[in-house]
Structures are given as C-alpha cells and as structure tokens.
Amino acid sequence: MREKILELLERNSRMTPAEIAVLLGSSEEVIAAEIKKMEDENIICGYNTLVDWDKTGADIITALIEVRVTPTRGQGFDNIAERIYNYPEVQSVYLISGGYDLLVILEGKTLKEVSHFVSSKLSTLDSVISTATHFILKKYKDDGIIFDKKKKDERMPVAP
C-alpha cells in the first residue's frame, strides 16, 4: 500500500487522500493516516513542483560539479558533504563511486555566479582536491518526466 501511495504522489503530489483512496480501493482515513506517518518518518520529504524554467523568463543556470575530496578521519565524506549542501544554491549532493567522490548540482542566475561559487567557496574547502564544472545546456527529461512531449491521441476515436 505504501509504495502505491508513494508512486501516485511522486507523479502528482496534488492528489488528495480521497482521490488516492478511490484509485487504490481504500478509505480516505486510512490513506491520510498513512501519508501522515510517512511524513513523520521522513519517507515523504517534501512536495515539489517540477518546473521547466527554460520556458519562463527567469534566467537559471544549472551546473553539475564533480568534486574530488579527501575524506576526513572518523567522518568519511559526511562532514564535507554537509559543508557543501548547507549552501542554499546547492540543489543536490550525491556521493558517487568512480572517478570522483561528490556530485554537486548547483543552480545560479549567471555563469559568473556559478563560477564564483566554485572558485571562492567550493575549491577553497580544505578537503577539496579538485573540481570539474559542467553546465547543463538543455533538460530533456527530469524526474521521469519528458519536458517537451505533447502527445496527441492518434487512436481511432471509436473501435471495437
């Protein structure tokens, strides 16, 4: 039941407990209680809206930054990750296996703003060995949703 609720909310966080109850063959009370529990347990961490900022007037630049770091004794990567994710302009921080350690996703208004963050805040952190910054040119698909897909129903309207 939990997973099914989460799947529905992940696709459409505006769905009400009453609507979910109908789809899953349950009752509004049960669903509402389950959602509340999952919020308390931090399984549901928030309700976001997926925005294609490119279509708005707002100038937003997204950068992927590969960061190599020296893990600190006793703390591993958690300490340095925390120092990075506390910056509000940082959208995501992942610990990665492979050629580098942390993947940082950053949003800024201008190229300058992003490069300023990298050079003055990120690179200067003690444990950071090196960074490589990639700017995102176009988002095709995010969180499972394809941005520019308008689908026309091409089926014949009536068929046996």
Partner 1 sequence: MRDPIGKKAAELKPSGIRKFFDIVAEMDDVISLGVGEPDFDTPWAIRDEGIYSLEQGRTFYTSNSGLKELRKEITNYVHRSLGVDYDPLKETLITVGGSEAIDLAFRAMINPGDEVLVPEPSYVSYKPCAILADAVPVVIDLKEEDQFRLTAEEVEAAITPKTKILVLPFPNNPTGAVMRKEDLEAVAKVCIEHDIYVVSDEIYSELTYTGEKHRSIVQVPGMQERTILINGFSKAFAMTGWRLGYCCGPAAIIKQMTKVHQFAIMCAPTNSQYAAVVALRDCAGEVDKMREAYNQRRRFLLHEFKEMGLPCFEPFGAFYMFPSIKEFGMSSDEFATELLKDQRVAVVPGSAFGESGEGYVRISYAYSLESLKLAMGRISEFISKLRAGKQ
Q: Which of 45, 58, 137, 158 binds partner 1 (CB under 8 A)?
A: 158
> Which residue among 22, 33, 43, 51 contacts partner 1 (CB under 8 A)?
22
Under rule CB under 8 A, residue 137 binds partner 1: no
Q: In what order do the strands lie in the sheet with 90-95?
A: 90-95, 102-108, 61-69, 128-135
Query: Residue 156 interacts with partner 1 (CB under 8 A)?
Result: yes
Binding residues for partner 1, rule CB under 8 A, total 13
Q: Does position 23 bind partner 1 by CB under 8 A? A: yes
- Indicate the residue among 4 and 109 with the shorter CB distance to partner 1: 4
Q: How far is the CB of 105 from partner 1 (least distance, A)?
A: 26
> What is the per-residue DSSP string for 34-81?
HHHHHHHTTSS--------GGGSS---EEEEEEEEEPPBTTTBTHHHH
Give the angle subtended at the CA of 82 by the CAs of 116 and 100, to the nearest 5°. Answer: 70
Interface stretch with partner 1, choices 19-27, 56-64, 68-76, 115-123 (CB under 8 A): 19-27
Quick one: 5 or 114, whose CB is closer to partner 1?
A: 5
Burial profile 107-130: b = 16 or more Cβ within 10 angstroms, e = fewer: bbeeeeebeebbeeebeeeebbee
Where on the chain is the footprint of partner 1 (CB under 8 A)? 4, 8, 22-25, 153, 155-160
